[in-house]
Amino acid sequence: MKIVDVKCHVLLDPDYDAGATSSAQDDIVVEIVTDEGLTGVGESDVNPWIARACIEAPGTHTMGRGLTEMLLAADPLDVEATWEALYVGSAMNGRRGAVIHALGAIDMALHDLRGKALGMPCYEFLGGAVRDRVRPYASLQPDQASFASYKASLAEWACAAQRIGFTAAKLEVTLAGAYAHLGLHAKIDRIVEVIAAAREAVGPDMTLMIDAQYSFPDSATCRTVIREWEPFGIYFLETPLPSDDVDGYATLVAEQPIPIAQGEWLATRFEFDELLRRKAVGVAQPDIGRVGGLTEARRVVQLADSAGVPVVPHIWKTGISIAAGVHLAATTGSIPLVEFLPRELSSSSLRRSLLSSELEMEDGELLVPRAPGLGVEIDRDALEHFEAAADRAG
């Protein structure tokens, strides 16, 4: 068996809002096809036009090769060796950033393809399952541009998640900085008002997390503000500081009690290794596509295990990535939660419609797919619809 084609689908929600801070509005979906007619599918959280260029661009020398040209005729079952070949062969242009994010979609597709070829779910060759269900948390970011409506909406959405069966939720509360959602701006110390409203609405038993989306200017400001959060039992605080402020993260991890989560933007295990060695992360958050795919995400889990740091994968795309995260979580007890936004709580039609069905939740937990590969199926009509929207925009 060999790879004969690599198809890149650039997708866009036709109702996208360029003022929104949400990459759920677009997607790069990669399909890898073999000479035996099998196809594997993957995706990544990166500008899809950039990712397509990374995948389809021709190479001009041995250390700047194109990803597609290296994939054609390769053995689709030798996934880890293929990852190394792509990493080394694109090193002069890649190593980090968009090339690795694009490689992540390819690697995800190769895992799906290998599972289909072998007739087994991905978790079987990722080390085997230690559990058959995984606890999800709902990631909540309502489309509201005023502080009052945002606070009320987050509390309402948290209650809606609870009614669906979630036992955990993450509040996306970005009141300042470049990622202020839909231009929402308020004093950063008012985040506590949002937390208090949500906690009052859902009661004491629901696990709550906060995503500040890089909105604190420095660790000193962050420490001062989050002191007020301690009575609310916050499970973790995600990305409070700019991602390059490793010293600031190390300070936060050492000097206050709320676990600090980060890593959604990082590419490869090498960047996570620095965070872990410098004790600059309390919860590691590899995004499976961005970090380099399931091959590299598994390596991050192994590094974090050695450091005694739990892993909660970042997942902000479609059910393709969610399935990949659940397969990874099924293989280890060190992933206590996975990010999951069901159709009922998603404002993105792309996220709601791309797959024929989504993972099943039972008693507040996601059931691990048992079908070969990732266990997902694309709705072809939806794929064409969102691809046409991207063609019109691009």
Share of the chain above pLDDT 90, in %: 85
CA 220/CA 181 separation, integer angstroms: 24
For residue 181, count CB atoms less than 10 angstroms from its CB and return exposed for 0-12, middle for 13-18, buried for 19 or more.
buried
For the segment 20-62, what is each residue's pLDDT rounded down to a tens digit? 777 889 999 999 999 999 999 999 999 999 999 999 999 888 8
First to last CA, the chain: 35
165: phi > 0 → left, psi -120 to 50 → alpha, else beta; which? left
In order of 160, 323, 351, 361, 383, the CA distances from 342 in angstroms are 11, 12, 9, 9, 19
- Does the pLDDT at position 185 exceed 90? no
Q: Which of 293, 316, 356 is nearest to 111 (CA)?
A: 293
Asked whether 211 and 170 are in contact (CB, 8 A), the reply is yes
pLDDT of 174: 84
* Other CB atoms within 10 A of residue 75 CB: 13
pLDDT of 158: 96
Mean pLDDT, rounded, of the chain: 94
pLDDT of 184: 76
Amino acid, res. 59: G
pLDDT of 308: 97
In order of 41, 93, 203, 327, 360, the CA distances from 87 in angstroms are 20, 10, 47, 23, 35
Highest mean pLDDT among 53-67, 131-145, 278-292: 278-292
Chain centroid to CA 189: how far? 27
CA angle, 169 as apex, 300 and 265 as ends, to 5°? Answer: 35
- Does the pLDDT at position 181 exceed 70? no
CA angle, 87 as apex, 111 and 77 as ends, to 5°? Answer: 30
Chain centroid to CA 210: how far? 16
Amino acid, res. 180: A
Domains of the chain with CATH codes = 3-119+379-393 (3.30.390.10), 133-367 (3.20.20.120)
pLDDT of 182: 67
Mean of pLDDT values over 75-81: 95
Q: Which residue has the higher pLDDT, 293 or 346?
A: 293
- Does the pLDDT at position 180 exceed 80? no
Mean of pLDDT values over 153-174: 94
Share of the chain above pLDDT 70, in %: 98
Q: Which helix (H) or strand (E) holds 136?
A: strand 136-140
